[in-house]
Structure 1
Amino acid sequence: MSEESSSLTWRPLTRDDAKASADLLNAMESVDGFGEYYEEEDTLQELIDPYTDLERGSLAAFDGDVMAGFMTTRYQPVAEEVHRVVMDGGVAPGYRRRGIGSRLLKAGVAAAGELHARHHPALRLAVDVHKPESLAGLAELLRSRGFAPVHYYQRMERLLGDAIPDAAMPAGLRAEPWSERNDEEFRLIRNEAFKDDKLRAPMTADSWRSKITNQTFRPAASFLLRDEASGAPAGMLVTMSWDADTAATGIRDARFMFVATMPDYRRRGAAGALIGHALRAAAEQGYDRAVVEADSASPVGAFGLYERAGFAPKLRFVSWALEV
């Protein structure tokens, strides 16, 4: 441990750290430039996540009242075969290269092990980290602890001032906006569509409320596809938007967090029509840009689907994993 690192105050995070967390993340953004800004309400949402055990699974370094770095871990309430604990964190630009990141990573792996022992001791453990590929020094740090890259994702963007191509809705399907009545269908479609993706655990109702239908959720730009004959849900698109991003950049983004179709409705043009429908709605509602994150190895060709809808790649993310 470096002398500078040991001179800091180290303790688990609490809900009262939301403002300091937002300040740290915004300081990181000013240097790293990934297009992600935060308000206190945004970071508080992360701190009150029902599956983030702050006492056992977090650690932060403070220099007085300033947060120099942090680490959080999030366990899965339900898991099969492999329990995947997601780790997040960062170090403020002025405190980098002092050993803080290394200490936080080591603590995160240890915390993941403790959470695993409490919740799913009979399963195998994997610790996941999802970060932009261009984050300086991250790859070397993760490799030094045994992490390996396992998946790649591409952030793609589309300006909404451009002409939006018309994609006819397949016969027998209709789009309806999100409502409290169909909310549970959104969640079930998400879980069914990604059930074979080992990096996306099923979302419980609590997790859905915490992660999705919070203050960043935009119901008017979120849509469910329904089979008119059977009434069955066929697909969905969830839109979220961060006010902090708009305030910092002047650009109002519609982030398509989930775009999913049920297996029986794939390869029929449903996803393309749903994206086109959401793009037009977002433009009409005053959004300036649409943003998605595409799985580079998607079995249903997500990258090409978004390209055809006018999206262009901007930033690549890497999912790293430590199999324990």
Structure 2
Amino acid sequence: MTAAADSELELLAAELPIAGLTFRRLHLPDDAGRLAELYNAAAIADNSGESGNAADWEHWLAHPSGMDPMTDALVVELAGEIVAYAQARVDRDNDGGRNYLTGGEVAVEHRGHGIGRALLHHNERHLRVLAATHPAGLEKRLESWSYDSQVRCNRLLESEGYETVRYFFEMLRETLDEIPDLPLPSGLEIRPLRPDQYRQVFDADVEAFRDHWGGMDETDDAFNRHFSGPNFRAELVRVAWDGDEVAGVVNNQVMTGYNEKTGARRAILNGVSVRRPWRRRGLARALVADSLRGLRDAGFTSAALGVDADNPTGALGVYEATGFVVERSGRTYRKPL
């Protein structure tokens, strides 16, 4: 651990003089399962629906977006038990700016003692140090994300000057019955995905999402995270081809942690993208419908996805037309750095 990291933890300890509370950096892979337990318990209390397992956390921390797990995250313990976690990340925004993301969780039984606020202050200090190393001309803003049901978190962020700038929906198709028959546009076809095509498909997905609000991680870590790990199954991914060109992609993945926790057989349409030349032709609907049939045939019984409530390409209507309904909503908060 660097001297700077030591001083960060000393500042945090001074802000949280709670007897027995200790602060440290991550110990991997040992912390992965304990972090999954922390977040799963919080999800039940907050009705956020999230569930992960140790493998999910190990995969994320092996291929993180915009952070170094050894310096940009920390663990809070009490009597050897993890009672809170914080992480700070940096995203490049599609508008050319930088988003400095603060996130974390506090165990339900340890809320109300100022831990969450102190971790937010820590993350902000840490992110300002990182921001000072980036070009001065960039627009820089602090950012966080939460579900509407996370009332305490929302109240904390708003009391610290964060404002809602965007809303998002999580949508659910409770069954995979009565899937609409929506053919692909003329000239396009869906083919099985081969490993030698992973990078081309990833690059096409990145290109399509550059038109969307926010940022899209284009790093090798993002590539490796999307095309490997416990939730990735190549046969579930749907890619529409126009000759040798990728026209659209749906990166369907297994919700392994959620399924283990609940006994469900659910998958997630983890990103639906269509490149500009092939938009407004019904390709997204056809890809979603074919994805649902593929998931049903693979033994899944329900499907989920997330969508920007103000998506400029009409994604919400596409998902409603293919049988999805809004299950819960969340929001992005920002404030000037």
Give your verdict on TM over 0.5.
Answer: yes
Which is further off, 24-33 or 203-212? 203-212
The equivalences for 1:133-144 within 5 A come to 133-144=148-159
| Alignment match, 2:33 | 19
1: distance between equivalents of 2:22 and 2:178? Answer: 53
Distance apart, 1:185 and its partner CA: 2.0
Moved more, 247-256 or 112-121: 112-121
Instruction: Give secondary structure in 2 for the equivalent of 1:206.
Output: helix
CA RMSD of aligned residues (A): 2.0
User: What is the alpha-carbon distance in structure 2 between the residues aligned to residue 205 and residue 2 of structure 1?
Assistant: 37
Q: Secondary structure at the match of 2:143?
A: strand
Hey, what's the Cα distance between the residues in 2 that align with 1:140 and 1:218? Answer: 39
Partner AA of 1:32 in structure 2: D
Indicate yes or no: 2:167 matched with 1:152. yes
Give structure 1 regions of 4+ aligned residues with deviation exceeding 4 angstroms: 77-80, 119-122
Q: TM-score, normalised by structure 2?
A: 0.89
Superposed CA deviations along residues 220-258 of structure 1, whole A, max 9, x for unmatched, are 111111113xx2110100012232211211111110111
- Residue type of the alignment partner of 1:273: A
Change in CA separation of 1:211 and 1:171 when aligned onto 2, cut-off 3 Å: closer
Q: Which of 35, 41, 45 in structure 1 is aligned with 2:55?
A: 41
Cα 1:120–1:57 change in 2 (3 A) is farther
CA contact (8 A) 1:128 1:322 kept: yes
1:124 is aligned to 2:134:
no
- Would the aligned equivalents of 2:94 and 2:211 in 1 still touch at CA under 8 Å? no
Say whether 1:28 aligns with 2:28: no
> Could you say which residue in structure 2 is the equivalent of 1:308?
321
Q: How many residues align?
A: 321
State the AA in 2 paired with 1:99. G
SS in 1 for 2:303: strand
Change in 2 beyond 3 A, CA 1:199/1:282: same
Q: Which residue of 1 aligns with 2:83?
A: 68
Letter of the aligned partner of 2:67 in structure 1? T
1:106-255 to 2 correspondence within 5 Å?
Answer: 106-120=121-135, 122-211=137-226, 213-228=228-243, 231-255=244-268
Partner of 1:293: 306
For structure 1, the 5+ residue unaligned runs are none
Q: 1:79 to 1:195 in 2, by over 3 A?
A: closer
Pairwise CA distance, 1:298 = 0.8
Structure 2 residues without counterparts, runs of 5 or longer: 1-14
- Residues 265-315 of structure 1: CA deviation (Å, up to 9, x unaligned): 111011100101100000000011110111110111111110000001100
Say which of 95, 120, 129 aligns to 1:105: 120
- 1:56 & 1:205 partners in 2: Cα distance? 19
What secondary structure is seen at the aligned counterpart in 2 of 1:118? coil
